[in-house]
Chain A
Amino acid sequence: MEHLEKLENRSIHILREAYSEFTSLCMLWSIGKDSTVLLWLTRKAFFGHVPIPLVHIDTSYKIPEMIEYRDKLAFKWHLDMIYGINTKALEEKETFPDGNCTRLGCCKKLKTEALVNTLSGNWPRFRMNHDTCRYELDKNSEPYTGVIVGVRSDEEGSRSKERYFSPRGRTSNWAFADQPPEFWNQYKTDFAPGTHVRIHPLLDWTELDIWEYIKQEGIPVVSLYFNQGDGKRYRSLGCGPCTKPVESEAGNLKEIIEELKTGKFAKIAERSGRDQDKEDGGGLETLRVDGYM
């Protein structure tokens, strides 16, 4: 079996296990390339359908094209689309762009806190009504006990320690030093009340695998990843104020793949354009222990 085929089939197996074993399941969709590949794999796993709600954490600072792309695909692919947001922090301007906290502090409020409270159902969730194409307050506030996330182990140090099914404590914390064993395609699908499990179907994929798969499958990705003629493109997507495009001429998938393989990015980390990583001393461990993606 070919390399990408192997990865694809393992990921599909994991997605189907998650779907069967968790009654309250959701998938985080950041609109980035990885979680979009995850979404595509879900369509493959369920023969064209996406029977799992997709959750997006809106920081209000996402690049506008991302939201436009999200809603367009949500409508076209009949996605059960939900978003959560830290309304309070935004109203009180407790953000980095407002100059009231550090980058990391801002991430913690707009992403980690919003994520944890959206998953638990403590904060309101907004769900797309496909008849009107608008978001409405979601009546369901049941906590999600299974959360599918598109992290890859090659992204940065802390993510390499993840299991495919990784338990999170009552406060969404992650005890990475004491994780359950995982073997023979059997995963942690039993969990104590109040805890939840993060599921990582893309753990074995690399950045290059992701782009090659996007090309092979013809997966639509947001145009920000491509050079639009100004010699710049995004390699990793996040909030506008903290994510910088990289200098690159790559304008299509073939050029991106070439650039990763042999070009200037062959030995530079993917998240080098993300400022909060640097503030965290090079790893995301501080953020992730608290429940960050």
Chain B
Amino acid sequence: MALNDADNIQQDGQVRSVELREDMHIVIVGHVDHGKSTIIGRMLADTGSLPDGKLEFVRETCRRNSKPFEYAFLLDALKDEQSQGITIDAARCFFKTNKRHYIIIDAPGHIEFLKNMVTGAARAEAALLVIDAVEGVQENSRRHGYMLGMLGIKQVSVLINKMDLVDYRQEVYNVIRKNYLEFLGKIGVQTSSFVPVSGLEGDNIAYSSSRMGWFRGKTVIEVLDDFQAEKAPEDKPFRMPVQGVYKFTRHGDTRRIVAGSIESGRISVGDEVIFYPSGKKSTVKTIESFNEASRTSIGAGYAAGFTLTEQIYVNRGEVATLLKQPRPLVTSRIRANIFWLGKEPMEKGVDYILKLGTNRVSARLEEILMVIDASTLKNKKKVCIECHDVAECILKLERHIAFDLPEEVVQTGRFVIVDRYEIAGGGIAQESLQDEQSRVREKVHLRNYKWEKNLITEEERGERYNQRSCLILLTGPPDIERKPVAKALEQKLFTEGKFIYFLGIGNVLYGIDADIKLSEQNNREEHLRRLAEVSNLMIDAGLILIVTARELSQADLELMKMAVNPEKIQTVWLGEDITTDITFNLHIPDTTSIKKNVAQIKEYMQKRGIIFKLW
């Protein structure tokens, strides 16, 4: 068997042996029956994009059935004959001008299909919005305009159709144009142009109309060719949501590659990168690819991958950014504008999933600030956000995430909401709000930013001490003794040669914390922060650190996780009763024997690979 001649791998990925081609996706939207299909049919016919004889065939069929010919029939005929025809499919049709190839997405005008309209429009770089000259601006003319704005489609041209039915009168066109411009002005959407057309008669579609001498603008085809191809935002700060960290060690590959699609900016070998929300820092060692010429720099739009000089623990969901550029926002409370497409309304007290970039986090509706009718722009006072509503609200997330405001980087400022198993809404972040961890987070991010790197790596330290550094948090109800267990564990592992330390909380409280009052509740956060910072230093030194604390809550743990790598924290709950909401790694209900408890914790540490079992 001959594998064809192309089995040799092309070394120079830059050499493109095929001709360059420009494609543009255009969505055509508007109220139902305002003539979208007719306009598409006419565009296909007048640009010579139809199969031979198709037009005559449809005309003949109409004549025989005593129906007036309509271009929309042509579209239907093409859909039916998809398997033999070309050019068109149910949602998309193709044609080309001298300038470029077009893919026209035919968005449904019925309100029930708003989710399909959104799906279609989101794929487009520009939009044509059709308004019937007889009916004027209708509910979905406005709603679709609003959705185009929310989806971030910047290039919109409005076609005022069926001009033949109003005798091509300029006043009709002017009134609708003024009316609709007013609406667009209120929602902040820019239009590139208005064109009076007749899809049926072909006025101003591909050819300038002689029946509307008063109109000096461009035809629809000229308007399309005037749309600008969307440029990948390379001039914005670098943002790459991490899709995964790949290490495929089979067949001897040792690379550890951070992979993701670059949403904005550019990255080069040698750049210092910082990942958010964790705030971890490293430097780009190589930019990786397969079957491409090697590169030292890569920009927005590319599905990229790079290796780092120091191995830091990062995961899917973080956003890679550049140290020298503006930072993204990090919080767990966001003010956002939302549009809702779900069958069930969005309500308080329900757990949703928010997906932003590659991050996914549990989210709740904290407050509805305003619900807006996307068509009338009227504010409604509502307790839930119903299907097709647009709302301004506050979302509370289970964990903090990194994002940008749309004026900074639009791609990392928008998200979707999943209700049960379905994407039910979309949203755009408007403001980063304070949450419980804001103060600590800010300090930790600055610390990471300023962090002085040692020449010795974490792996080297681990190898020297024959252990993985970590923080063992012993917690439990007030009546259970934790310190004796901690001290016995320290002694046991110390005699076995481990580099281990028990940090008595009092040693911190009356030393490092001497300047803050113990009793005041709002100082608790600062106590915890300092404890976490001290722990972080000791872990960095390669120690196994044991800390005891009474009744740690999940919020306490979250605070500690800000300053200490979450992967390095092991929580142990001592005692039968669980009196807080904390999620622990190990539960030891029976605390009657210290020796037994020490053995249990030791076994757990071996299982997790913190210390190693001797053969």
Q: Interface residues, chain A, CB within 8 Å of chain B?
A: 1-4, 6, 8-9, 12-13, 16-17, 19-20, 43-49, 51, 65, 68-69, 72, 78, 153-154, 156-157, 159-161, 163, 167, 179-186, 188, 190-192, 212, 214-223, 225-226, 252-253, 257, 267-269, 271-272, 277-278, 282-283
Contacts and interface: CB of A to CB of B under 8 A. Distances in A.
Given A44-B290, A218-B6, A283-B83, 14 more contacts: A1-B301, A2-B16, A9-B303, A16-B260, A17-B243, A44-B291, A49-B250, A153-B92, A183-B119, A217-B291, A218-B7, A220-B7, A282-B80, A282-B81
Contacts of A8: 303
Given A49-B248, A180-B423, A216-B10, A277 B83 contact: yes
B4 A226 contact: yes
A12 to B, nearest CB: 4
B3 A72 contact: yes
Nearest to B80: A282
9 contacts: A1-B232, A16-B244, A43-B291, A46-B248, A69-B1, A153-B89, A156-B83, A190-B418, A282-B84
Nearest to B23: A3
Contact of B290 (A43, A179, A220, A222): A43
B255 A47 contact: yes
Q: Return the 9 tightest CB-CB contacts between A and B, nearest first.
A: A160-B89, A183-B122, A157-B82, A12-B303, A181-B115, A282-B83, A220-B3, A218-B6, A49-B248
B8 interface: yes
B122 to A, nearest CB: 3
Interface string B404-427: 000000010011101011110010
A167 B418 CA distance: 14
A68 B84 contact: no
Contacts of B423: 180-183, 186, 188
A157 B86 contact: no
B244 A190 contact: no
A215 B92 CA distance: 27
B305 interface: yes
A45 B119 CA distance: 25
B89 A69 contact: no
A3 B121 CA distance: 20
Contacts of A212: 18
B350 interface: no
Contacts of A220: 3-4, 6-7
Considering residues A1, A47, A78, A156, which has the most beta carbons from chain B within 10 angstroms of its beta carbon?
A47
Given A9-B261, A181-B423, A188-B422, A252 B81 contact: no
A156 B246 contact: no
B256 to A, nearest CB: 11
A277 B83 CA distance: 8
B518 interface: no
A65 B290 CA distance: 28
Contacts of A253: 4-6
A212 B151 CA distance: 32
Nearest to A9: B303
B122 A6 contact: no
A20 B242 CA distance: 11
Interface of B: 1-10, 16-18, 20-23, 51-52, 79-86, 89-92, 94, 115-116, 118-119, 121-123, 151, 232, 243-244, 246, 248, 250-251, 253, 255, 257, 259-261, 288-291, 301-303, 305, 316, 341, 353, 355, 358, 411, 414-416, 418, 420-423, 426
Contacts of A218: 6-10, 291
B303 A269 contact: no
A157 B20 contact: no
A160 B90 contact: yes
B457 to A, nearest CB: 23
Contact of B79 (A17, A44, A157, A180): A157
Contacts of B1: 65, 68-69, 72, 222-223
B243 to A, nearest CB: 4
B288 A154 contact: no
B6 A214 contact: yes
Contacts of A192: 420-421
Nearest to A4: B18
A183 B418 contact: no
Nearest to A165: B423
A182 B116 CA distance: 8
A155 to B, nearest CB: 9
A211 to B, nearest CB: 9
Nearest to B299: A1
A269 B86 contact: yes
A183 B27 CA distance: 14
Given A183-B118, A267-B86, A48 B253 contact: yes
A44 B261 CA distance: 13
Contact of A46 (B52, B94, B123, B246): B246
B258 to A, nearest CB: 11
A215 B18 contact: yes
B39 to A, nearest CB: 19
A222 B259 CA distance: 31
Contacts of A2: 16, 20-21
A252 B355 CA distance: 45
Contacts of A13: 243, 261, 303
Contacts of A190: 353, 418, 420-422
Given A44-B290, A78-B251, A160-B92, A182 B243 contact: no
Given A44-B290, A69-B1, A252-B5, A181 B81 contact: no
Contacts of A257: 18
Contacts of A252: 4-5
Contact of A215 (B17, B260, B416): B17
Contacts of A217: 6, 10, 291
A43 B242 CA distance: 18
Considering residues B8, B22, B115, which has the most beta carbons from chain A within 10 angstroms of its beta carbon?
B115
Contacts of A182: 119, 122, 423
B302 A269 contact: no
B398 to A, nearest CB: 16
